[in-house]
Amino acid sequence: MTTSWVDGAASSGFDVDHLPYAVFERAGEEPRVGVRIGDLVLDLAPVAAADMLEVSHLFEATTLNPLMAAGRPVWDSVRQWLTGLLTDETERDVVEPHLVAVADVTLRMPFLVGDYVDFYASLDHASNVGRIFRPDQEPLLPNWRHLPVGYHGRSGTVVPSGTDIVRPHGQRKAPTDDAPTFGPSARLDIEAELGFVVGTGSTLGSRITTEAFADHCFGVVGLNDWSARDIQAWEYVPLGPFLGKSFATSISPWVTPLAAFDAAWVELPGQDPEPLPYLSAGATRGLDIEVEVVLNDEVVSRPSYSSMYWSPAQMLAHLTVNGASTRTGDLWGSGTISGPEPDQRGSFLELSWGGKEPFTAVGRERTFLEDGDVVVLRYSAPGTAGGRITLGEVTGTIAPAL
Ligand code: CA
């Protein structure tokens, strides 16, 4: 793998071993499909048209959905075409007029979200939450090691990075309270996750096997599953998360294609007991993606996705094993990424142990989110060229309750 002729692309986290897609907008123009190289975004439609690319119409859209629906052979051939354009100096005259500084554009929602499912695939996170929410019981419920636990979330409130998060109102009742009260959440939190995006869907009545994962998964986004713990703790029994989660889920504007992770696959830490056969075959690979949770410019946690219990292929196989169909733009979250160490916890709930053990950030003791807090989730992974790729950030600022 060579590097791009674009100045600054080498070692930027955005060389030709990455090539994430986004939808960007310049003032007064329609949103457009672009791919990132270094600190620039390439406007794909005019370059593809000039090159008479057979699939150039896929880029004449205001979302990535047409490209995502085109399927693995097209994703691979477009990636090969882009690599050629951006590494071959003789293409420079054709390409350069269509490069725009990322700093000069606004990034939009990259794709139209279909259904949204969120899993709970970290053993450390599920164990920590069990201990905090149900201190007198076994932390893991009996099903947890047999299936990837998940719930259907609200796709209409998935928002792009940078969207302010308004503190939600809701009902909450602490165990010591006699009756529920209503008001702004006092225990607003983050969940550092990854999101996996369905490119080509599947029909009602069919299953996506673990082996078919790469034919259906287009790519990966950063994801923050904002969570109101006080609302969640009161409402979640017996049917699971609802209004404590559905007010907002942020994703990165850049979608990293699955092919960019070819050097990042690692074996899962191990599954015991052995899962049922539909979850077993060829599915025990996770991704070596490092995560940083940044609160007001200070890194407060460094979880690693490589420590997760359930793999992305197992999650997709499980969510279609009953014959549920999938469509382009469906999104599934990994679940909070927490590792075994205290400084690898992917939520403030865990970092502050339910609010009882404040952690220090920017010189102060902290528990849950305060108005004005800025949270940034950063992600990186080994690239195929020997360096690291930098996934799209997910940022959000907490705005006061309305
Ligand atoms: Ca979650």
Q: Which tokens in the block code for residue 90?
A: 């003789």
Q: Write down the residue that tokens 């907008």 correspond to.
A: 25
Residue 149 pLDDT > 70:
yes
Question: For residue 322, how far is its CA from the centre of ligand 1 (angstroms)?
Answer: 22
d(CA 224, CA 159): 10
Mean predicted confidence (pLDDT) in 277-300:
93
Q: Where a domain ends, among 74, 106, 138?
A: 106
Question: For residue 372, how far is its CA from the centre of ligand 1 (angstroms)?
Answer: 22
Q: What percent of the chain has pLDDT over 70?
A: 100
Mean predicted confidence (pLDDT) in 229-251:
96
Q: Confidence class of residue 1 from pLDDT cuts 50, 70 and 90?
A: low
Position 32 scores a pLDDT of: 96
Mean predicted confidence (pLDDT) in 11-21:
97
Domain assignment present for 202: yes
Position 284 scores a pLDDT of: 84
The mean pLDDT of the chain is 96
CB atoms within 10 A of CB 368: 24
Domain check: are 85 and 190 in the same one? Answer: no
Domain check: are 171 and 216 in the same one? Answer: yes
Residue 283 pLDDT > 90:
no
Domain check: are 132 and 281 in the same one? Answer: yes
| CA triple 192-352-169, angle to 5 deg | 70
Residue 107 pLDDT > 90:
yes
Residue 175 pLDDT > 90:
no
d(CA 350, CA 124): 10
Question: For residue 86, how far is its CA from the centre of ligand 1 (angstroms)?
Answer: 37
Residue 38 pLDDT > 60:
yes
**Active-site option among 125, 146, 169, 318:** 125
Query: What H or E segment, with its residue span, contains residue 193?
Result: strand 192-198
Domain assignment present for 7: no
98 has catalytic annotation: no
Q: Which tokens in the block code for residue 183?
A: 């008001």
Domain assignment present for 297: yes
In sign, the C-alpha dihedral spanning 125, 195, 378, 154 is negative
Question: For residue 208, how far is its CA from the centre of ligand 1 (angstroms)?
Answer: 23
Question: For residue 37, how far is its CA from the centre of ligand 1 (angstroms)?
Answer: 31
Domain of 385 in residue numbering reads as: 116-399
Whether the ω angle into residue 253 lies within 30 degrees of 0, i.e. cis, is no
The DSSP-derived string for 109-157 is -SS----EEEE---HHHHHHHHHHH-TTS-SS-TTTTTS--EEE--GGG
Question: For residue 225, how far is its CA from the centre of ligand 1 (angstroms)?
Answer: 5
Q: Whole-model pTM?
A: 0.97
Question: For residue 273, how far is its CA from the centre of ligand 1 (angstroms)?
Answer: 24
